[in-house]
Copies of this chain bind each other. A is one copy, B any other.
């Protein structure tokens, strides 16, 4: 086995000892090779498929029966991927993908060195059909070739990116011998060409929860035709493989004490648990937190405000932007910073309402809606003032209230208080930029010691990468899938009561947020 790390691998290469054919030893090419592999990996279960078998006589002779075999394990059987010349020091590669509905991120991994060779990062081309998943599902269902088209958009874009990386690093597609991909349930269905029709209709039934390992050729991806593709399982329509990958990456299942894992995307997805148990739930809390609904909101990029500081004395709003460019908009983490700072400065009250006395000349009004000028026109990168409207703040308050309510509901369900939480993992791009202190001030995240918050970045991609490189991680994925209990959020009276209480900054029950100062909104300048 070539594997250099301690982890068992399920995608591997080996160099079988093969006696060249002779009159004394005339077993068939395929059987000769398989016999060698069986001995090399010490397994009786080795299998090859017809389409590869067709090519073997030529390949074995081309390489003079000195070959390296690519193999992968599935259900206890080692399957032959391909054969390569043994005397070459060619590297073998794998592809790990986070299949987001907005962004697709993939990494080409050197399977031998276990290093990242290159990365792809592109907008999901299905956005051309619809930016939200429901539009795409509708498109797939109402157009004859709609599903195929959505799948093809994805595969074509992946192949384009693969071609770019392959050319750059002189990698032949044959040498990409494995892939893992994690996406939400609908994206997983699109990737596999499975109808999403029943996902969005009561009782919300996916075609599959546990996709089989498929092969590169099955979906026309420009990797080895026989390369296994591991598609992360989902728990249901609302809890996708990206989250299973996230749980894996968080290693929450290695913790003795209870931890939280929160991923904020279009939905807020929350997991609580430890090595013994896991409970998950998901709810609509996202858009406002992502900055998507604010009039000045945008995705992270140059000139986008990611940090805000308001001088408590002068009430001057200081913004910092990504790459220091003149400000053009604000991202989710910037928005949370901004609103937290507005609260600390007394410029909004505990209901999130703009306080005219404090905002003074930064306040304008149009069609009866109040706007706060965050960046005046002369300092803005757009030539226009960047403003935050009262409805933008209201939406954020609702979202943060929903998030806190979900956290409270799930911790109440399992009977764990916030103080018992050992670590609070925050996943996603959102998690990478957010200032937990600002989120606590807003009452979006619980008031626990700041050092308990751990930002994990793209956990979906990390989880995919882990499974690509480790049979143990793959097995852990199954364990997570089987162990997780899904909490269906009932929007009942109790939930609504909790939600109402959470729609204040930081909360109606101030005792829950002892670290957040009480701020006066009285104008004492």
List residues of chain A with CB under 8 Å of any chain B CB.
21-23, 25-32, 45, 47-50, 53-54, 56-58, 75-77, 192-195, 197-198, 202-212, 214, 218, 234, 236-237
Whether A29 pairs with B207 at a CB distance below 8 angstroms is yes
Q: Which residues on the B side are within 8 Å of A203 (C-beta)?
A: 21-23, 25-26
Whether A31 pairs with B209 at a CB distance below 8 angstroms is yes
Given the complex of chains A and B, what is the CA–CA distance between A32 and B205 in angstroms? 10
Whether B23 pairs with A210 at a CB distance below 8 angstroms is no
Specify which of B28, B234, B237 is in contact with A209 (CB 8 Å cutoff).
B28
A38 to chain B, nearest CB (A): 12
Whether A208 pairs with B28 at a CB distance below 8 angstroms is yes
Given the complex of chains A and B, what is the CA–CA distance between A519 and B75 in angstroms? 70
Whether A212 pairs with B49 at a CB distance below 8 angstroms is yes
Specify which of B58, B218, B234 is in contact with A50 (CB 8 Å cutoff).
B218
Specify which of A57, A203, A212, A214 lies most central, judged by the most chain B CB atoms within 10 Å of its CB.
Answer: A57
Which 7 pairs across A and B sit closest by C-beta, in order of nearness? Answer: A28-B206, A30-B208, A28-B209, A31-B209, A23-B203, A21-B205, A28-B208
Q: Which residues on the B side are within 8 Å of A23 (C-beta)?
A: 202-204
Specify which of A28, A214, A236, A237 lies most central, judged by the most chain B CB atoms within 10 Å of its CB.
Answer: A28
Specify which of A27, A45, A193 lies most central, judged by the most chain B CB atoms within 10 Å of its CB.
Answer: A27
Supply 25 A–B pairs (Cβ within 8 Å), ascending by A: A21-B205, A22-B203, A26-B203, A26-B204, A26-B205, A26-B237, A27-B205, A27-B236, A28-B206, A28-B210, A29-B198, A30-B210, A31-B210, A32-B205, A49-B212, A50-B192, A50-B212, A50-B214, A50-B218, A53-B194, A54-B195, A54-B207, A56-B207, A57-B194, A75-B77
A204 to chain B, nearest CB (A): 5
Residue on B nearest A51 in the bound complex, by CB:
B218
Whether A29 pairs with B212 at a CB distance below 8 angstroms is no
Given the complex of chains A and B, what is the CA–CA distance between A230 and B418 in angstroms? 60
Given the complex of chains A and B, what is the CA–CA distance between A210 and B212 in angstroms? 25
Known contacts A23-B203, A31-B208; decide if A57 and B195 are in contact (CB<8 Å): yes
Specify which of B45, B57, B205, B212 is in contact with A47 (CB 8 Å cutoff).
B212
A203 to chain B, nearest CB (A): 5
Specify which of B29, B49, B76, B205 is in contact with A206 (CB 8 Å cutoff).
B29
A488 to chain B, nearest CB (A): 8
